[in-house]
Amino acid sequence: MRNMLVLISALCLFSGCTGGGHLGIWSEADQDRTVKGDFESGIYRLDDKSQFTALLLQGPADNPSQALVLRMFWQPVAGSTPLDPDATNVSIRYILFSGPGLNQVAIYQGGGYAYPQQSLGAAMLNVNIEQANLHLFDASKGFEDPLGASGASGGISLRRDDGAMLEAMRRLDLQITKCLGYPRLVRGE
C-alpha cells in the first residue's frame, strides 16, 4: 500500500496531479466478488486542524460513474493512537452509478482508518485508507447488491480546494437525487 502512495505522489509531481487514487472493495462473504473504486480526481477541504472532508470522482464532475466521500474526524498520532475496532476515524461513502446514462445509483457507507502522509492543510495530501467496512445504505429501485457487507482499503491523493468542495458536493447530491427520485445528501457537513 505504501508503495502505491509513493507511486501516486511521484506521478502527481510530474503530471500536475489533480488527485485521485484507488479503493479496493471486496465482499466479506466471498472475497472473489470485488469492485474497483478508481478515481481520476480528488479534492479536499480542511474542516479544522485535525479534520477534513474529501471528494474523489471517476468521470466528469457533472456525471461521474463513481464517487467517494470521506470525512476524517481525528488524526491518528503514531505511537499514541490505539487501534481499536470501534475507534474508526473516517466515515466513507462510496457511490456507484450504473445503467443507461448512469441513471441508477448505489450508496455504500461505513468507516475505517485514514492515515494522512502529510500535514493536514498541505496543497497535496496522500492518504492511506485501511481496515474499512462498508454496507449498502441506499440504492435505486431494482439495484442488486453484488457485495453485501464489504471490506475496503486503498491509497488516494487529494488536492486542497476548499472553494470547489461545496459546488462539487452540490452537483453530486443533485445527481444522486435524480437517480433515487428523492433527496439523499452525501455531503460531509
Going from N- to C-terminal start, the domains of the chain cover 2-180
Q: Tell whether the model's pLDDT for residue 81 goes beyond 60.
A: no
Q: Where does the pLDDT of residue 2 fall: very low under 50, low under 70, confident under 90, or very high at 90 and above? A: very low
DSSP for 114-133 reads EEESS-TT-SEEEEEEEEEE
Specify the residue for cell string 503530471: 15
Q: Return the pLDDT at 12.
A: 43
Percent of the chain with pLDDT over 70: 82
Q: Where does the pLDDT of residue 17 fall: very low under 50, low under 70, confident under 90, or very high at 90 and above? A: low
Of the listed ranges 4-13, 107-116, 141-150, 157-166, the one predicted with least confidence? 4-13
Q: Return the pLDDT at 89.
A: 87
Q: Provide the CB-side half-sphere exposure for 153 (13 A, CA).
A: 9
Check: CB of residue 115 under 8 Å from CB of residue 76.
yes
- What mean pLDDT is predicted for residues 87-99? 88
Q: Tell whether the model's pLDDT for residue 100 goes beyond 70.
A: yes
SS3 at position 43: strand
Percent of the chain with pLDDT over 90: 64
Measured from the Cβ of residue 48, the count of other Cβ atoms closer than 10 Å reads 7
Dig out the grid coordinates for 59 from the structure: 468521470
Q: Provide the CB-side half-sphere exposure for 90 (13 A, CA).
A: 29
Calculate the average pLDDT of the chain.
Answer: 85
| Closest among 128, 126, 127, 129 to 112, alpha carbons compared | 129
Alpha-carbon gap, residue 17 to 4, rounded angstroms? 15
- What mean pLDDT is predicted for residues 93-103? 92
Q: Return the pLDDT at 7.
A: 40
What's the pTM value of the predicted model, to 2 decimals? 0.84
Check: CB of residue 68 under 8 Å from CB of residue 180.
no
Q: What are phi and psi of 170, to 5 degrees?
A: -60, -45
DSSP for residue 72: E
SS3 at position 167: helix
Q: Where does the pLDDT of residue 101 fall: very low under 50, low under 70, confident under 90, or very high at 90 and above? A: confident
Rg of the chain over all Cα atoms, to the nearest angstrom: 16
Give residue-wise pLDDT tens across range 121-174: 999 999 999 999 999 999 999 888 989 999 999 999 999 999 899 899 999 999
